[in-house]
Amino acid sequence: MRFDSRIRINNSIKRSSMSRKSFLVFFVSIICFLSVFRSEKIISNAVEAQNQSARLSLEISNSQESFLQGEPVLIDLKLSNQTNQSISWRGRLGSISHTTFVTTNDAGVQSRFDGNKYMTGSYVLLSRIMQPEEQFQKASILGEDLVEELFPSPGQYNLQTEFVYDGNAEGERRIKILSNSIPINIVEPQGIDKQARKHIKEKIKGYKLKTREDTRALAKLKQEFVDKYRNSVYAKYIIFDLGITYETIGEDAKALRELCSIYDEKFYYFEDIEKIVLRIDGRVNPVVWGPGLPIPVLKHPCTGKVIH
């Protein structure tokens, strides 16, 4: 009996010892699990914070530094991903609706033009995923009205652009990035350019269009300007508008004549001109082709070169 009692006591001690060991193992396992979970959560939060801090970079440049008053200013924009991760964005690079222009004159006075306050409406937004070191480039033009506001008088200015885009992560809506600064020198026009600018401001700018006859009258004013000031720096921009106006009122032959006179691959509106002249030529010289007839030879309305 005493022996059996000792056995039962020993067995009880062993079970108690095993229970303590099992509990200790379980407790240590819980501690390890919580530590790993906390570590993974910290890493996850760090990655998320890094993703949310990733930003695109904007650089602007120009091949021409000096412009006459009222002359459109051309700039090149380069959006790049200089981070080590991919970045998703939606926006309209080069569009005034998504851009703020900042100018500083010689006296240090700063002016801002917030494009989204002046350009309203619905737009199709470009959506892209930019990989590390990837770049996206776009040419942009600051038209006459905008340059008159940004550069109101002759002098030396510094120009920056602030681009607004949408990110895909939470809290990344309407992200703003500021570009570098480039010099812009505005020069007072002289001679024929001075006369041309005065003609534009007094007779063309602000002309009100209410009827089709008003459009015809405006076309006449623009043609008078072109005939008189074709050699001025402002002429090609007026000619481009004149070509569009002629097409609007059904004067296709005149539209082709004027647009082909400024057909130049270096001109900012070259791609627009290309589309317009080919469209007009399709109406003026329709292609006649059918069974038994030779394949027609299509020639470019401006260059006369065969279109393949």
Tokens, residue 185: 């020198």
The rounded distance, in Å, linking the Cα atoms of 190 and 172 is: 49
In Å, the largest CA–CA distance within the chain is 132
Phi/psi of residue 42, nearest 5 degrees:
-65, -45
pLDDT at residue number 36: 42
pLDDT of residue 14: 45
CA 91, chain centre distance (Å): 7
pLDDT tens-digit map of 103-154: 999 999 998 888 776 655 556 677 889 999 999 999 999 988 889 989 999 9
pLDDT in tens, 209-258: 777 788 999 999 999 999 999 999 999 999 999 999 999 999 999 999 99
What global pTM score does this model have?
A: 0.75
Q: Token match 């009222």: residue?
A: 70
Give the angle subtended at the CA of 288 by the CAs of 283 and 291, to the nearest 5°.
Answer: 155
